[in-house]
Chain A
């Protein structure tokens, strides 16, 4: 391993250690963490065991073969660390992996005289441009995932009289009222008027501020035997278009 390679490896490892310990997140951490896990573990072990034996192992071959070997190493060492309770939390993880990388990088450096040296100069520019494109794309892919949306919502639901989602009153006696709990949750920008209309004739008006929940125990009475469809339809503001609808099927006997 050449001096430049050793410095780059040490630099990348040190960067990851600092970012992890200082809990700095963002694009640099994504790039640093990606290289730290995907390239470095395999690169150093191939430098130590492989490059001196395989005199035509070029930089591209070394880089590419580092990927599967790195995955294999972080998998097996990770399982061992987990088994030994060393842990996969960030600090112990970065510690044992850095120790491993630095150990093999150092001893590879001291064996440098025997090995083939890469001619990197002709590919410097291309490598930098390519790497920038890849790293930009990686960060772009993460840009909108971790944010939670604050989009408006409107929810209508029905629960049984114990506020649970079981034992709905599907079998009822004629003319005997049964109780259920109706709820509306609203998240929007302004206060809104709502109307809840049930299929058996009741109509409830109420208003909700953003983030507010409305609940009401309602009584349903069926006067004729047979199968009944009991629906509740929610209208918002002065609109005639139903916004939400729920329904229970009840057999009266």
Chain B
């Protein structure tokens, strides 16, 4: 690598990381967050002064014991940087870590600094996934580890060192402690890559091309055993959610994501997503998936058409296999849990898309596609801003400081040491965070169609689980997040109906927050 090439790579690296960090800072100033991050932050706040972290078996923090590494990392960041956990929640850590590692992965995979820069900025600026990626949320910490796994795996093609295997093992163990989805992705990546290595070595008799494959077979097997033995998430939080109703919910969420209208059976209270955002998302998804599908068909066609000696051996083929398997399995697995995931498609598949464009021999075509992908993210920023969704000039919801008085009021006047709170997941997170170390703890009850109808007075059926308190963010214009990622219209739109609903007493009003209680 000569000096000029190194400088060009470094220039684009710095451009990428600087823009990503600035965008992360912008999202931070807009208080964009993933609702599940409140659990992590509240727990870190609750254990900050303790010598040892004990993960509780019950209560709102129960699920955190399934990924203890996350709390350990967040606690260390808060301590070392000398900031409180509330500030850490909006720290754009993911923007920096993901942009740096993904840029370098794309650079090694696509061998073009400008394409690597564009594709990284496409990912970081993509507001459809930014809430999960930009901050200290699980993806922001775990994705760099996945990219690290891919980078180390690429080294295996250059040389054979036991340290690579040790590093892969270390990275997997950390991923397993941080985020079960990324741990699964690591296994799927190695499994898919090895499957292709195995296929080519057996069918094509090209054993000499992948001499390191045997080592990685053993490693993959070891990782699978570790995952199924030590990761309890799959047994406690995944398998119980399997079901046909989840599939139906997933399909509706997916249609809503694409903005193809609401399907017949969907909820009348569903939050209608902007058509422009849906259109851009659909276009982006097609732009990513169609070239991969065509490329794959071409690959398979070539395989059977030509004799083995004529087939091109590409060292990146196993990487393609690994990424493909992640995308396919991840979307399938999430769909049976109630949400068709496009994360893997959006995050990893652009690498494959651009790789296939590069293989056409027209390098400029790959640059154009990278520019279009980047442009879709820019358009989305405009569309999100125009719709006051996630980012806006105006205030989008009630801040945690404004929540605190009503939380303290509940702590002071609530009859028991815990209370069941029916609320939007974001709002609940704020109550959980503001009630840390208080004597009363809110327990989450999520909105579904029935609960939503009862609160706005369109249903008089009895509650399945009667909430102690119903919290309404009367200032929020953001979608209300309910059961299995369901998005409902903000309750502000039904303010009059809530006020006139004879099934609930309105017992607290501070202008932003209303607290209500079901009539006995």
Query: Which residues on A are within 8 Å of B, measured CB to CB?
Result: 16, 19-20, 23-26, 29-30, 32-34, 36-38, 49-50, 53-54, 56, 58, 60-61, 63-65, 67-69, 71-76, 78-79, 82, 85, 87-90, 93-94, 119, 122-123, 126-127, 129-130, 133-134, 137-138, 140-142, 144-146, 148-149, 151, 153-159, 163-168, 170-171, 185, 227, 229, 243-249
- The smallest C-beta distance from B378 to any residue of chain A, in angstroms, reads 19
B1 on the A face (CB < 8 A): yes
Which residues B488-520 have CB closer than 8 A to chain A? 499, 502-511, 515, 517, 519-520
DSSP class of B's interface residues: helix, strand, loop or mixed? Answer: helix
Counting chain B residues whose Cβ lies within 8 A of the other chain, the interface size class is: 35 or more
User: 15 other contacts beyond A64-B104, A88-B51, A168-B519, with CB at 8 A cut-off?
Assistant: A19-B82, A25-B82, A26-B82, A60-B6, A72-B145, A93-B76, A122-B6, A129-B14, A133-B21, A134-B96, A137-B24, A153-B405, A153-B510, A155-B409, A158-B507
Given A54-B159, A126-B11; A155-B399 close (CB under 8 Å): no
CB atoms of B28 and A141 under 8 A apart:
yes
CB atoms of A247 and B505 under 8 A apart:
yes
- The smallest C-beta distance from B360 to any residue of chain A, in angstroms, reads 28
Which residues B83-139 have CB closer than 8 A to chain A? 83-84, 86-87, 89-93, 96-97, 100-101, 103-104
CB atoms of B29 and A144 under 8 A apart:
yes
Q: Once the chains are docked, how many angstroms separate the CA of A85 from the CA of B54?
A: 11
| Stretch binding the partner chain, chosen from B170-178, B293-301, B384-392 | B170-178
Q: Which residue of A lies closest to B147 (CB)?
A: A68
B461 on the A face (CB < 8 A): no
Which residues B13-70 have CB closer than 8 A to chain A? 13-14, 17-18, 21-22, 24-25, 28-29, 49, 51-53, 68-69
CB atoms of B80 and A90 under 8 A apart:
yes
CB atoms of A72 and B92 under 8 A apart:
no
Instruction: Give the contacting residue for A24; candidates B28, B82, B91, B178; CB below 8 A.
Output: B82
Instruction: Give the contacting residue for B3; candidates A56, A119, A126, A148; CB below 8 A.
Output: A119
Given A71-B145, A245-B506; A50-B163 close (CB under 8 Å): yes
Q: Once the chains are docked, how many angstroms separate the CA of A24 from the CA of B83?
A: 11
- The smallest C-beta distance from B350 to any residue of chain A, in angstroms, reads 19
- The smallest C-beta distance from B157 to any residue of chain A, in angstroms, reads 12
Q: Once the chains are docked, how many angstroms separate the CA of A159 from the CA of B505?
A: 11
B372 on the A face (CB < 8 A): no
CB atoms of B79 and A90 under 8 A apart:
yes
- The smallest C-beta distance from A9 to any residue of chain B, in angstroms, reads 16
CB atoms of B502 and A249 under 8 A apart:
yes
Contacts of A144 in B (CB 8 A): 29
Instruction: Give the contacting residue for B517; candidates A63, A67, A94, A168; CB below 8 A.
Output: A168
Instruction: Give the contacting residue for B80; candidates A36, A145, A163, A166; CB below 8 A.
Output: A36
Q: Which residue of A lies closest to B409 (CB)?
A: A157
CB atoms of B69 and A75 under 8 A apart:
yes
Contacts of B328 in A (CB 8 A): none
Contacts of B510 in A (CB 8 A): 153-156, 244
- The smallest C-beta distance from A2 to any residue of chain B, in angstroms, reads 17
Q: Once the chains are docked, how many angstroms separate the CA of A244 from the CA of B149?
A: 56
CB atoms of B82 and A69 under 8 A apart:
no
CB atoms of B79 and A89 under 8 A apart:
yes
22 pairs, CB–CB < 8 Å, chain A vs chain B? A20-B80, A34-B81, A49-B166, A53-B159, A58-B6, A68-B101, A69-B148, A71-B73, A71-B174, A72-B173, A73-B174, A76-B174, A88-B75, A90-B79, A140-B25, A146-B83, A149-B399, A155-B406, A155-B509, A244-B511, A248-B505, A249-B504
- The smallest C-beta distance from B436 to any residue of chain A, in angstroms, reads 15
CB atoms of A246 and B101 under 8 A apart:
no
Chain B 404-423 interface mask (CB, 8 Å, partner A; 1/0): 01100110011100000000
CB atoms of A127 and B10 under 8 A apart:
yes
Given A119-B3, A229-B502; A30-B18 close (CB under 8 Å): no
Contacts of B14 in A (CB 8 A): 126-127, 129-130
Contacts of A32 in B (CB 8 A): 80
Q: Once the chains are docked, how many angstroms separate the CA of A61 from the CA of B81?
A: 25
Instruction: Give the contacting residue for A71; candidates B86, B96, B144; CB below 8 A.
Output: B144
Given A72-B171, A154-B511; A78-B21 close (CB under 8 Å): no
Given A33-B77, A158-B507, A168-B517; A185-B83 close (CB under 8 Å): no
Q: Which residue of B lies closest to A164 (CB)?
A: B415
Q: Which residue of B lies closest to A157 (CB)?
A: B508
Contacts of B49 in A (CB 8 A): 89
B394 on the A face (CB < 8 A): no
Given A75-B69, A75-B178, A248-B505; A87-B9 close (CB under 8 Å): no
- The smallest C-beta distance from B69 to any residue of chain A, in angstroms, reads 4
Given A155-B508, A157-B507, A246-B507; A78-B6 close (CB under 8 Å): no
Q: Which residue of A lies closest to B149 (CB)?
A: A68
Contacts of A78 in B (CB 8 A): 69, 72-73, 75-76
Contacts of A130 in B (CB 8 A): 13-14, 17-18
CB atoms of B413 and A163 under 8 A apart:
yes
- The smallest C-beta distance from B415 to any residue of chain A, in angstroms, reads 5
Contacts of A75 in B (CB 8 A): 69, 72-73, 174, 177-178
Contacts of A151 in B (CB 8 A): 401-402
